[in-house]
Amino acid sequence: MFLGARVAVVVPAYREERLLPKTLRTMPAFVDRVIVVDDASPDGTSRVAAEWGDSRVELARHLENRGVGAAIATGYGRALADGADVVAVMAGDAQMDPVDLPGVLGPVIAGRADYVKGNRFVHPASRDMPALRRLGSATLSALTRAATGLTVDDTQCGYTAIGRAALARLDLASLWPRFGYPNDLLGLLAQNALRVTEVPVRPVYGDEASGLRPWHVASIAGVVLRRAALGRLAPPPLLPDTCAGCQAASDA
């Protein structure tokens, strides 16, 4: 537990056989549950999680690739069922410094915020961000501010935390399943009048390539942000039922 709160961390993972061990190895001891959601990886991602040897680690597997937003929604559901008080998200690619986790959790546990996003732009190491990634993220952040009315500076940062009460109010089944889920989630939070704040987090980059492409920016701007601005009138693509679309490690 951290500051008296039961903490769960959702780890969405796709083709992370190489980097997932680093993510799990550096998970802070105060974390009570680590939920790895393998989004139908063709490599050994599920095997790494299933064989990790830490009783805190739980594996959920999608039977088909559904997208990172869908993976996080699956993890959120598992965390609620497990009784977590606060749920963080740390990707399986080891790009989120575990040293920053207390700062991400803190405002939620203290009751100052319902949802916390990491902000890489205000960290001293922000100069390490690749220029194109920073430009794309800054563009989407400006559009998201306009669509949601929220004061957010780094909308694409996936290092987040949300409280149990706030999470229970969200319609996770409607969350945009793929690229654009952070912007869609912010729209949902705004529509539920939930409090959103940001804290500095260190950007971490290795030799992996960014998944953000120009067409992703265009898609997010043209579809997902429209959903936020118009009150989520456009439904997301239909997804498989959560129970049918994922398996626990014990079912393997």
pLDDT, tens digit, 9 for 90 and up, residues 23-67: 999 999 999 999 999 999 999 999 999 999 999 999 999 999 999
Domains: count for the chain: 1
Q: Are strands 115-119 and 196-200 parallel, antiparallel or unpaired?
A: parallel
What integer pLDDT is reported at residue 86 of this predicted model? 98
User: Pick the residue with more confidence: 219 or 178?
Assistant: 178
pLDDT at 112 over 50: yes
- Token pair of 217 as six digits: 């920016």
Count of C-beta atoms within a 10 Å radius of residue 171: 11
Q: How remote is the C-alpha of 31 from its chain's centroid?
A: 16
From CA 98, how far away is CA 26, in angstroms rounded? 7
What integer pLDDT is reported at residue 213 of this predicted model? 57
Residue 1 lies in a domain: no
For 133-191, what is each residue's pLDDT tens digit? Answer: 788 788 889 888 988 889 999 999 999 999 999 999 999 998 989 878 999 899 999 98
Q: How remote is the C-alpha of 78 from its chain's centroid?
A: 14
Residue 103 lies in a domain: yes
What integer pLDDT is reported at residue 222 of this predicted model? 65
For 65-107, what is each residue's pLDDT tens digit? Answer: 999 999 999 999 999 999 999 999 999 999 999 999 999 999 9
What integer pLDDT is reported at residue 217 of this predicted model? 65
Residue 248 lies in a domain: no
> If you search the block for the tokens 């056989």, which residue do you land on?
17
Alpha-helical segments (H) within the chain: 20-25, 45-50, 68-81, 101-109, 131-148, 164-169, 181-191, 214-219, 225-229, 242-245
Answer whether 51's CB lies under 8 Å from 11's CB: no
Where in the sequence is the domain holding 17, given as residue range(s)? 7-232
What integer pLDDT is reported at residue 238 of this predicted model? 43
Residue 242 lies in a domain: no
Query: Average pLDDT over the chain, rounded to whole?
Result: 87
Residue 32 lies in a domain: yes
Residue 184 lies in a domain: yes
Answer whether 9's CB lies under 8 Å from 75's CB: no
What integer pLDDT is reported at residue 252 of this predicted model? 43
From CA 201, how far away is CA 248, in angstroms rounded? 31
Residue 250 lies in a domain: no
User: Which of the four pLDDT bands, split at 50, 70 and 90, describes residue 126?
Assistant: confident
**CATH number reported for the structural domain that contains residue 181 in this entry:** 3.90.550.10
Residue 251 lies in a domain: no
